[in-house]
Amino acid sequence: MTTMKEIAEQTGVSISTVSLVLNGRDEGRVNPTLASLVRNKATELGYKINPLARSLRTNKTRILGFISEEVATTPYAGGIILGAQDAASAYGYMLFTVSTDGKASEENEIATLKRYGVDGFFYSKMSNRIAQVPKSLDDYPVVMVDATDHDNKIPSVEPDEFMIAYDATNRLIKAGCERIAYVGCSESMIAQDGRLAGYQAALHDAGRVFDPSLVCNVLNNGPALRAVSKLFDDTHPDGFFCFNDARAWYVYECAARRGLTVGKDISVVGVDNHRVFAETLEPQLTTVELPHYEMGYWSACKLISMIEGKDVDTSVWPDTRAPLPPLNAPIPAKIHCALLEKGSVVVH
Amino acid sequence: MTTMKEIAEQTGVSISTVSLVLNGRDEGRVNPTLASLVRNKATELGYKINPLARSLRTNKTRILGFISEEVATTPYAGGIILGAQDAASAYGYMLFTVSTDGKASEENEIATLKRYGVDGFFYSKMSNRIAQVPKSLDDYPVVMVDATDHDNKIPSVEPDEFMIAYDATNRLIKAGCERIAYVGCSESMIAQDGRLAGYQAALHDAGRVFDPSLVCNVLNNGPALRAVSKLFDDTHPDGFFCFNDARAWYVYECAARRGLTVGKDISVVGVDNHRVFAETLEPQLTTVELPHYEMGYWSACKLISMIEGKDVDTSVWPDTRAPLPPLNAPIPAKIHCALLEKGSVVVH
DNA sequence: ATGAAAGCGCTAACAA
DNA sequence: TTGTTAGCGCTTTCAT
CATH number of the domain encompassing residue A19: 1.10.260
Average pLDDT across chain A, whole number: 83
Same structural domain, A223 and A283: yes
User: Residue B343 domain-assigned?
Assistant: no
List CB contacts of A174: < 8 A, sequence separation 6 or more. A327, A328
Question: How close does chain A come to B202, measured CA to CA in Å?
Answer: 28
Same structural domain, B153 and B166: no
A329 touches chain B (CB under 8 A): no
On the question of pLDDT at B111 being above 50, the answer is yes
Same structural domain, A197 and A279: yes
User: Residue B341 domain-assigned?
Assistant: no
Closest chain A CA to residue B2: A115
Protein-proximal positions, strand C, CB < 7 A: 1-5, 7-13
User: Residue B347 domain-assigned?
Assistant: no
Q: What is the pLDDT of residues A98-133, one digit of tens each?
A: 988 777 789 999 999 999 999 999 999 878 889 999
The 3-state secondary structure of chain A reads CCCHHHHHHHHCCCHHHHHHHHCCCCCCCCCHHHHHHHHHHHHHHCCCCCHHHHHHHHCCCCEEEEEECCHHHCCCHHHHHHHHHHHHHHCCCEEEEEECCCHHHHHHHHHHHHHCCCCEEEEEEEEEEEECCCHHHCCCCEEEEEEEECCCCCCEEEECHHHHHHHHHHHHHHCCCCCEEEEEECCCCHHHHHHHHHHHHHHHHCCCCCCHHHEEEECCCHHHHHHHHHHHHHHCCCEEEECCHHHHHHHHHHHHHCCCCECCCEEEEEEECCCHHHHHCCCCEEEEECCHHHHHHHHHHHHHHHHHCCCCCHHHCCCCCCCCCCCCCCCCCEEECCCCCCCCEEEC
Domain CATH code at residue B301: 3.40.50.2300
Give the Cα separation of A183 and B280 in Å (integer).
14
- Three-state DSSP at B51 gives helix
On the question of pLDDT at B176 being above 80, the answer is yes
Same structural domain, A192 and A136: no
- B115 with A55: Cβ contact below 8 A: no
User: Residue A340 domain-assigned?
Assistant: no
User: Residue B348 domain-assigned?
Assistant: no
Same structural domain, A141 and A285: no
On the question of pLDDT at B71 being above 80, the answer is no
**What is the number of domains present in chain B?**
3
Same structural domain, A231 and A178: yes
User: Residue B309 domain-assigned?
Assistant: yes
Most A CBs within 10 Å: which of B47, B94, B254, as the mutation test of the A interface? Answer: B94
Same structural domain, B152 and B301: yes
Same structural domain, A299 and A256: no
B313 touches chain A (CB under 8 A): no
Residues 253-282 of A with CB under 8 A from B: 253, 256-257, 259, 274-277, 279-281
Q: What is the pLDDT of residues B300-346, one digit of tens each?
A: 888 998 998 876 655 444 444 333 333 233 333 333 334 333 336 67
User: Residue A97 domain-assigned?
Assistant: yes
Residues 193-232 of A with CB under 8 A from B: 220-222, 224-225
Q: B106 lies in which domain range?
A: 58-157+292-335
Residues of A in contact with B96 (CB under 8 A): 94-96
pLDDT band at A91 (very low <50, low <70, confident <90, very high): confident
Residues of A in contact with B275 (CB under 8 A): 75, 274
* pLDDT mean over B186-191: 92
Phi and psi (nearest 5°) for A71? -65, -25
Same structural domain, B135 and B278: no
Same structural domain, B284 and B165: yes
On the question of pLDDT at B45 being above 90, the answer is yes
User: Residue B215 domain-assigned?
Assistant: yes
In B 38-77, which Cβ lie closer than 7 Å to strand D?
49-50, 53-54, 56-58
Phi and psi (nearest 5°) for B74? -85, 145
How many percent of chain A have pLDDT more than 90?
48
Same structural domain, B274 and B314: no
* pLDDT mean over A133-161: 92
Same structural domain, A304 and A223: no
Residues of B in contact with A49 (CB under 8 A): 115
Q: What is the pLDDT of residue A262?
A: 82
